[in-house]
Amino acid sequence: MDQLESAAAALAIKASRFAEFLKFYFFKSFDSYTKRFLVKVFTKTALLLHLSDAAKKNRFICETSDNFISLYRAQFPEQAKKIVQTADDVSNHIFDLLGSGPRHVSTRQQIDWHLDFKSGYQWNKKKYFRCIKFREIPGVDIKIPWELSRFQSQMCLAQAFVLTNEIKYAQTFQSQVLHWIKNNPPGFGVNWRSTMDVALRVVNWLVIKEIVDSTYQFPEDFTIQFYSSVYDHARFIRHHFHHVNRITSNHYLSELAGLLFVAIYCPFFTESNAWRAYAINELEKESKIQIYPDGTDYEGSICYHRLVLEILLYCLILAEKNGVYFSDQFKAIVKKMCTVTLTYLKPNGNAPQIGDNDSGQFIKLSRRHSLDHRYILSLAALAFNDGSLKSHDADFAPEALWIYGSSGYEKWRSLQGGHSVATKTALPDSGWYVIKEKNDYMIISCGQNGKMGLGGHAHNDKLSLELMLNGCDIFVDPGTFVYMPDPEKRNVFRSTRSHNTIYFQGIEQNDLAKGVFYLPDTIKYDARVLERNGTYVRFYGKITYQNVTHERRIEVSEKFSVIKIYDRFSATDASMAYLLYHLAPDLVLENHNIVDQRGEKLAHLQVNASDLSIAHYHYSPEYGVVKDAVVITVALPIYDGINNVTTILSKQLKV
């Protein structure tokens, strides 16, 4: 009976998808079936008048007046210059995506929206989206066409238009949108395969158009086609939400955010009220599911915490600017997430890499390194009118100026600044433990893989750490590099031996063979404690897995002058263990001294084991990018009973 029910369910799904395919196929030959819908609901003239009035309202971006432009150029001269340079590149179809470096992506002088220009593989633009495969093609990265079609890189066109008043940038955006619409009919081609990317595209379209609309009027025909496609996007999102075994993630949040942005930007769609209500209700519900009580995202990754925080924070800002309100509980959750960002940021404003980093963002309003999360604090301080969310050295961010304008800048300056950063902070739900003092910093990872046991973006990094001394990275997490193009290399970056912990030969902390986005949490956490003990801060953690027991005690003295790491372990199924410390790029080990490229000594390293060696590894600070760096490896024979190894790191004191 169970087999019959299962077969019937599978048949029903196939029938439903075939019916959906026929619907998409029937409509794709028309210029746009939603164009007919819009014209039916409104006359063309009435619609254009409605859109014209709506475009003048301040929805998300501030009013880009002459005062805004002069302030932007004064505060961010390098950003302004970079925006114009990048806009010129984008106008010439030159894009720098996911570690590609500047690449010309034209075919016959037109952008090829279906091409992975890194590998040269091209997807069939006439293929029904559910039939498109991508995980089975070695060396091919579907994220390349997805990233291009998110239109985040085209944000610079609108910004350059505002800063220069050069109409060519607005016209380039117009032409690229029209070309995309023509070559990506709803439901067909690679750019409808991921609903999350459909949502990110429509959000960025709307924000870009809002920026340009401040001083430019698009042609009537473009306006009709643009909003027709926006409607296509919203309908697609509403009927193709992404769930995995009913477990939600940043994908579902992105899709809800896309629906909310369309509903608020486009109140003239008949479904907009229903879309808005649904999106707000689901975002409220999901914030309680996906955000732990300590304020961290439940996917086991600091960079995905940033992505999820962007989604929720931007939705909150958009809603409140337009008289739509979330609950106080939702706002408290988002604010706590901002406090987490303040906690995990290094003294230089960069984030450590715990878990995956695919360089993903919701809206990109500035050009910055993917690990630079400082801008969140400017936005948070203004969104919550709370100066404690400003860090001591966080300058006002260009993202905040685009959203809040010159009045926001004055308000930010008036807020009582500088959050007094705690010396130690435990985030026990995610297992992130932070110790910081001025220009010194340490974060320890010792927590669940998350996502209700699926661990989609977690790594085998338990009891691993990152360390910064005197504002210089010393020990770093190697990062992520890529996802599907190279599953073997992905697993190398996720593996225990790619983290600053002990790797037991032939034994992974968690099984990597279940899939590139699956990491079942099989570790038992026996103890996790972060406390102050006299003049030093102490962390103690103990984990067990696969007949392995690993205890790590870390003692950090005042001003990080001396750091002691005590490891105790036993393993019945391994004969060798390896203690690993991955140095930041450009650092080397010379006579037990960690030295930078200028020859300056940063710290002295002592390990009470004789078999110490160095090797090279790949460090990935952002998706698709690798750099050569050095890893310190200490080989440790495993004896019966308890084994011990001690590391002492003495910081080079600054005069």
Instruction: State the Cα–Cα distance between residues 6 and 638, nearest whole angstrom.
Output: 50
Run of H or E including 399 = helix 398-414
* pLDDT > 60? residue 505: yes
Q: What is the pLDDT of residues 362-413, one digit of tens each?
A: 999 999 999 999 999 999 999 999 999 987 666 899 999 999 999 999 999 9
CA distance 37 to 29: 16
* Residue at token pair 């709370």: 386
Rg (Cα) of the chain, in Å, rounded?
26
pLDDT of residue 215: 87
Q: What is the average per-residue pLDDT within 352-366?
A: 97
Q: Which two tokens stand for residue 255?
A: 């899709």
Q: Is the pLDDT of residue 9 over 50?
A: no
pLDDT-derived band at 165 (thresholds 50, 70, 90) equals very high
Whole-angstrom distance, CA of residue 76 vs CA of residue 83: 11
Distance in angstroms (rounded) separating the CA atoms of residues 400 and 565: 41
650 pLDDT above the threshold of 60: yes
350 DSSP 8-state letter: B
pLDDT of 492 over the 70 cut: yes
Rounded to an integer, what distance in angstroms lies between the CA atom of residue 249 and that of residue 451?
8
pLDDT at 28: 46
Q: Which CATH architecture has domain 241-411?
A: Alpha/alpha barrel (1.50)
* pLDDT score of 108: 73
Q: What is the rounded distance in angstroms from the CA atom of residue 145 to the CA atom of residue 113?
A: 6
Q: What is the pLDDT of residue 417?
A: 72
| Averaged pLDDT, 113-137 | 91
| In the predicted structure, residue 7 carries a pLDDT above the cut 80 | no
Count of residues in the chain: 655
pLDDT tier for residue 3 given thresholds of 50, 70 and 90: low
Which pLDDT band holds residue 39 (cuts at 50, 70, 90)? Answer: very low
- 270, two tokens: 């008949």
pLDDT level of residue 534 (50, 70, 90 thresholds)? confident
State mean pLDDT over 486-508: 97
Average pLDDT, the chain: 91
Bigger pLDDT: 33 or 154? 154
Strand order in 576-582's β-sheet?
A: 502-504, 576-582, 627-637, 612-619
Q: Under a CB-based contact definition with an 8 Å cutoff, are residues 340 and 274 in contact?
A: no
Work out the average pLDDT over 80-108.
93
What's the confidence (pLDDT) of residue 655?
A: 52
With 70 as the cut, is the pLDDT of residue 462 above it?
Answer: yes
How far apart are alpha carbons 282 and 330 in whole angstroms? 11
Q: pLDDT digits over 268-284, tens only?
A: 899 999 999 999 999 99
Give tens-digit pLDDT for 206-231: 999 999 998 899 998 999 899 999 99
Mean pLDDT of 554-559: 95
Tokens read off for 277? 């209500």
d(CA 415, CA 1): 66
pLDDT (average), residues 30-36: 45
Residue with tokens 């963002």: 361
The distance of Cα 604 from the centroid of its chain, to the nearest Å, equals: 35
Nearest to 152 by CA among 324, 361, 435: 361
Which of 416 and 201 is assigned the larger pLDDT?
A: 201
Helix (H, G, I), strand (E, B) or coil at 581: strand
- What average pLDDT does the segment 463-486 reach? 97
Tell me phi and psi for residue 267, to 5 degrees: -70, -10
The two three-digit tokens of residue 388, written as one number: 């404690």
CA–CA distance, 610 with 191 (Å, rounded to integer) = 55
Answer yes or no: are the C-beta atoms of 429 and 420 closer than 8 Å.
no
Domain 424-651 is in which class?
Answer: mainly beta
CA of 456: how far to CAs of 372, 420, 577, in Å? 23, 34, 27
pLDDT category at 13 given cuts 50, 70, 90 is very low
Where do the H-state alpha helices sit in 165-322? 167-183, 195-213, 220-239, 250-265, 272-290, 302-321
Domain ranges of the chain: 57-213, 241-411, 424-651
Tens digits of residue pLDDT in 593-614: 999 999 999 999 999 988 899 9
pLDDT for the residue numbered 453: 84
Cα separation, 637 vs 623, in Å, equals: 36
Residue 26 has pLDDT above 70, yes or no: no
- Integer Cα distance of 509 and 455 in angstroms: 13
- Provide the pLDDT for residue 310: 98
pTM of the model: 0.93
- Check residue 31 and give its pLDDT: 41
Better-scored residue on pLDDT, 616 or 12: 616
Q: What is the pLDDT of residue 497?
A: 98
- pLDDT exceeds cutoff 70 at 639: yes
- Position 597 scores a pLDDT of 92
Look at residue 533 in the predicted model and tell me its pLDDT. 86
**Token digits of residue 461:** 């990094």
Residue 22 has a pLDDT of 58
